[in-house]
Structure 1
Amino acid sequence: MENISKPTVFPNTVILQSEGLLKYILDTGVFPREAEALKELRNATAKHPLGFMGAAPDWGQLMALLLKLLNAKKTIEVGVFTGYSLLLTALTIPDDGKIIAMDPDRKAYEIGLPFIRKAGVEHKIDFIESLALPVLDKLLEDAANEGSFDFAFIDADKNNYWNYHERLMRLVKIGGIVAYDNTLWGGTVALPEKAVSNAKQEWRLLSLAFNESISKDCRVEIAFVSIGDGVIICRRIS
């Protein structure tokens, strides 16, 4: 009798997609350990019409752990919104650490600014109201910046993810980490094209292209993590 191979079925697939399980994770392991300033900013962000764009708190918890494991002191953030991940980073790095953060929307950043000030970490943040590529290119004009950053978090325009990646491969040190948010794009990357709404088609294709390119990039080791809307964590190795 001919052997017929069956598709691999992972027994935890359904439960990992459960909203109930996510609530359990947040209520049990994330929210009880969340700094009060982060909780207050998260609640303020939820009132924003685009509040869903805020960084996922369970990703924030993992991000803080990565920063500590790296002993990160100098970081980059591309895309700030109201600043949840920015505040988390500022709370995590040492008092003399520095974050270069860039976003063209200062109004959204100013929602988080009172919480940043209340936490006493504003001095660690260099917020630049600008599109990111000009700022990254300006940093690269100074050779001293190359390989000088420990960590970078990217949560911005998906059409420029690869452009950011090429620059960050020069700015982040070997052994440093670059993390890219929204790499599952609402789960659409796993759906057939006809099942995706027109509004999500373009950035779905951009996400698919970026994910494929990063998976083939020999300059990094990667972990594709199903957390929040998907995060690809890259460790630069060359």
Structure 2
Amino acid sequence: MAFIPSSIKSCLSNPDPHVNYSAKFTTIQDPLQKELQRATLGKAKEFGTLGAPEVLTFGENFIRAFKGKKVLDIGTYTGISALAWALALPDDGEVLTMDIDLNNYKKFGVPIISKHPETFKKIKAVEAPALETLDELIADGQSGTFDFAFIDADKENYENYYNRVVTLLKSGGVVFLDNCLWGGRVTVEEHLENDPLCAAIHKTNRIIFQDSRTYSALLNFGDGTHVAFKV
């Protein structure tokens, strides 16, 4: 079975005191976020894929700073990232969250997020392969209209997600890609040769670094957050 790093441990149980200290003085969570995090950690399978709270707070800060209104969220899971973006958006903002399977979102996210109707109404969930949804948005003429995007889905398609998202972002828009250090494995040649997911992440990191369409930085934040700003 492929290695799946637990992003959320970066702030909750990482043995590095510097990581924990930084996360402590970064993370701010709404009560809804805390409730959904507890529900996911307590009952959902594969809870290790839950985004690190400090990464979500960092993304919220970007959205609020440039008053973003349109957000792409690739990889819904229980809705923890979609909730973060919705909380940061103004009343007329929208998060388009997409996943091939929304069962976890319907089971855990919807009952909790819907307690706050004003936040819940900002989230539009699409159950379909994200590449199909992104291609439909491009075909619909929505290129250059989104403010922010978060990619935390199947790593084999990270390159494809990134390329489509850059097309859809407006100039000055920002995309975060989660898990871009893959538990540190991207630095080990053996893993790059034997772990297809690790190799896909490494390839995407290199593509982003060399991409003339964006300015970027790979941060040792969470499980590695690659941040790219569209030119």
Q: Same fold (TM over 0.5)?
A: yes
Taking structure 1 as the reference length, the TM-score comes to 0.85
Map of 1:12 onto structure 2: none
Q: Residue by residue, what CA displacement relative to the aligned partner does 1:63-101 show, whole Å, maximum 9, x if unpaired? A: 111111121101111101111111011111001101111
Map of 2:132 onto structure 1: 134
Distance, in Å, in 1 between the alignment partners of 2:25 and 2:226 is 24
Matched ranges for 1:1-238 at <5 A: 18-30=15-27, 33-47=28-42, 48-110=44-106, 111-120=108-117, 121-143=119-141, 145-193=142-190, 196=191, 201-237=195-231
Q: CA deviation at 1:18?
A: 4.3
Distance 1:29-1:76 versus aligned 2 partners, 3 A rule? closer
Q: CA deviation at 1:190?
A: 1.1
Query: Which 5+ residue runs of structure 2 have no aligned equivalent?
Result: 1-13
Counting matched residue pairs gives: 215
Query: Match of 2:204, as an amino acid?
Result: F
Query: Which 5+ residue runs of structure 1 have no aligned equivalent?
Result: 1-16
Distance, in Å, in 2 between the alignment partners of 1:42 and 1:26 is 16
Q: CA deviation at 1:161?
A: 1.3
Distance, in Å, in 1 between the alignment partners of 2:147 and 2:192 is 38
Query: Match of 1:221, as an amino acid?
Result: Y
Taking structure 2 as the reference length, the TM-score comes to 0.88
Distance, in Å, in 1 between the alignment partners of 2:166 and 2:24 is 36
Query: Match of 1:187, as an amino acid?
Result: G
Distance 1:174-1:28 versus aligned 2 partners, 3 A rule? closer
Runs of 4+ in 1 over 4 A off after TM superposition: none
Query: Match of 2:205, as an amino acid?
Result: N
Query: Match of 2:197, as an amino acid?
Result: W
Distance, in Å, in 1 between the alignment partners of 2:53 and 2:26 is 10
Q: CA deviation at 1:29?
A: 4.3
Map of 2:3 onto structure 1: none
Higher relative contact order (CA 8 A, sep 6+): 2
Distance, in Å, in 1 between the alignment partners of 2:179 and 2:63 is 20
Q: Residue by residue, what CA displacement relative to the aligned partner does 1:169-221 show, whole Å, maximum 9, x if unpaired? A: 2211011011111111111011231xx499x7111111111111111001000
Identity of aligned residues (%): 35
Q: CA deviation at 1:22?
A: 3.1
Distance, in Å, in 2 between the alignment partners of 1:132 and 1:189 is 25
Distance, in Å, in 2 between the alignment partners of 1:174 and 1:203 is 30
